Amino acid sequence: MLKIGMTLTLEPVEMTDSKEQFKCKVVEMEESKLFITYPINVVTNKTSFLLDGMQLKASFIGGRSAVFMFETEVIDRVKKKIPMLVLQDPGPSLYIRIQRRRFVRVMTGMDISATFASIPTFTTCTEDVSAGGMAILIPEHIHLEQGMDGEFLMVVPMQSGEYHYIKVRGKVIRIWEDLKRNIASIEFIELSSTIQQTLLRFCFQRQLALRKKGLTE
């Protein structure tokens, strides 16, 4: 899957408004370790210095143009024929295949509050979430229609135990019934890059946790 000579794209896990990306190549591989060339910043085209212990998201293109992602960190730096960084390799079983044309959607019950014009603010929870939208349960006393715009306060629990409280705008694009429950599909509108990256990271961590429990492929 991941082979010597392949290109890795690295992104810091810590979220900032200016999203940084780095490119590097896999030079050597050992059990639980990846030896890479010093990363090049894709914007400045200059070599970047990554600190030991730095948490990163790594992605690469595998067979049949599939894109895979995994979490890693800088664990060492060595000098053989060339200077190299050493990344932790979680192994192929923890590589997550990601969808290229749309955001990965994960099943999760996330607490939210929703505000629509002419409708009192109400609380509910999600059925699923992605970095592009979500499905929410519609309480019995609430009437929503397709095309309505709303504002949502989401409580996003991260694997570290930290909670992110984020506000997003969204539009109702579909309403349907499932097991006698009314559900609305919400498409997010004009997300900031910081919020989108937070949701991407949450979905990735959630998918990884489900995989470890054997609840997803």
Q: Quick one: 13 and 111 in the same domain?
A: no
pTM for the model stands at 0.59
Helix (H) or strand (E) holding 212: helix 193-212
Domain with 142 in it: 106-212
200 inside domain: yes
Residues 6+ apart with CB under 8 A from 132: 102, 103, 187, 188
> What is the dihedral angle through the alpha carbons of 152, 129, 99, 187, rounded to the nearest 10 degrees?
-40
30 inside domain: yes
Q: Quick one: 131 and 92 in the same domain?
A: no
- CB of 174 within 8 A of CB of 154? no
pLDDT of residue 201: 85
- pLDDT string in tens for the chain (217-residue length): 899 999 999 988 875 445 688 999 999 999 899 999 999 998 888 998 899 999 999 988 876 657 788 999 999 999 988 999 999 999 998 888 776 546 778 899 999 999 999 898 999 999 999 988 999 999 999 999 999 999 999 999 988 888 999 999 999 999 988 878 899 999 999 888 788 888 988 988 888 887 777 655 4
